[in-house]
Amino acid sequence: MRLLITGDTAGGVFTMVTELAEGLNAEGWHVTVATFGPQPAQLPKNIRWFHHTSKLEWQPDPWAELESAGEWLRQLVSREKPELLHFNTLCHGNMGWRMPLVTTIHSCVPTWWSQVKQSPLPPEWNRYRQVVCRSLEAASLLITPTQALLHALQLTWPLDFRNSLVIPNGVNPSHFHVAPKEPFILSAGRFWDEAKNLQALDAMVPSLEWPVYLAGEVNAKSNCRLLGQLKPEELAGWYARASIFVSTAKYEPFGLAVLEAAMSGCALLLSDIPSLRENWSGSALFFRPGQLDTALSDLIRNADLRADLQRQAWERSRGLSQSVMVSHYMTAYEQSRRYACAS
């Protein structure tokens, strides 16, 4: 089948799209990828990939750039002639595409806002709501990476979710390895993103017996030892040696960094939110607000518990592999074709 997949380059969606495209190529599919957002440092060389540098729908005043990006996408589709479109972006679904359309919702502003700000979305986001809602309405099939996100979307958007599936993200285990574990804690994410809540971890650092390393963008002074933005292979090396990986997220629709850490044999200490419970219950230690300091100190001092959690996380990660994700998406594509024919 000829397939065109969209995505953005601003976060974990880029990783998911890369993993999916590589897996589908290995299955003999003819895949084209089109991404939007900031220009990436490099694009995978083994995938037919096109990029349009533009704002994304959740960024300030993106509409003129989104319109230009839509016309670029229309020309690309005309040239590539896919039989099915798979959107991992939320703004170009309603352009009159004459083929089955699958949309994976990785996140959205209203669900982010409700769980991070814990208040209604302000009126200045009304145009975003309208654009995204029209795009989602055009899909033959809606997909989310967790049941927790699907539930949040059902409470947020006035859409018919009867044609929807949950397909967890997956990564290739060969990209990660387990090395002798060293006495340090690792976390990853954008320090400025309120959803990641990394300030909660940062405040604990002076009282901990082990150092805390942080990978990702930081725009403020931090108590952590800062690694900056690492290449995937560099980050894999840190995962491999870290004894503990911490996620302090208030909002995490899936959590690719958690999966990558688990595939590297890290003990997982995670905030107690529905999506992380869904993926890692029985394979991680969870903490509620106010419990992080105690949980970290206990885990540092209890080598047996760390070893058990490291093994459990690694075993659980095997079910969230690239091959499992690709198999589910191939089934979903066939299902979307049936839905499109029936409508």
The model's pLDDT over 241-256, given as tens digits with 9 standing for 90+, comes to 999 999 999 999 999 9
- Give the whole-angstrom CA distance, residue 31 versus residue 166: 22
Per-residue model confidence as pLDDT tens digits over 12-53: 999 999 999 999 999 999 999 999 999 988 888 889 999 999
Sequence-distant (6+) residues with CB within 8 A of 92 are 6, 66, 69, 70, 73, 135
Please report which confidence band the pLDDT of residue 184 belongs to, taking 50, 70 and 90 as the band edges.
very high
Q: Which of 284, 279, 207, 199 is nearest to 245 (CA)?
A: 284
Residue recorded with tokens 């890290």: 266
Mean pLDDT of 82-89: 97
Please give the domain boundaries of the chain with CATH numbers for all domains: 2-170+322-342 (3.40.50.2000), 173-320 (3.40.50.2000)
Which pLDDT does position 219 carry in this prediction?
78
Token pair, residue 110, equals 């209203």
Per-residue model confidence as pLDDT tens digits over 189-199: 999 899 999 99
Burial profile 245-281: b = 16 or more Cβ within 10 angstroms, e = fewer: bbbbbbbbbbbbbbbbbbbbbbbbbbbebebbbbbbe
| Cα 160 to Cα 140, 156, 253, 323, distances in angstroms | 11, 12, 20, 29
Query: Mean pLDDT of all residues in the chain?
Result: 95
The pTM is what? Answer: 0.95
Which pLDDT does position 343 carry in this prediction?
60
Which range has the worst mean pLDDT, 125-139, 165-179, 327-341?
A: 327-341
Mean pLDDT of 61-89: 97
Which pLDDT does position 172 carry in this prediction?
97
Please report which confidence band the pLDDT of residue 342 belongs to, taking 50, 70 and 90 as the band edges.
low
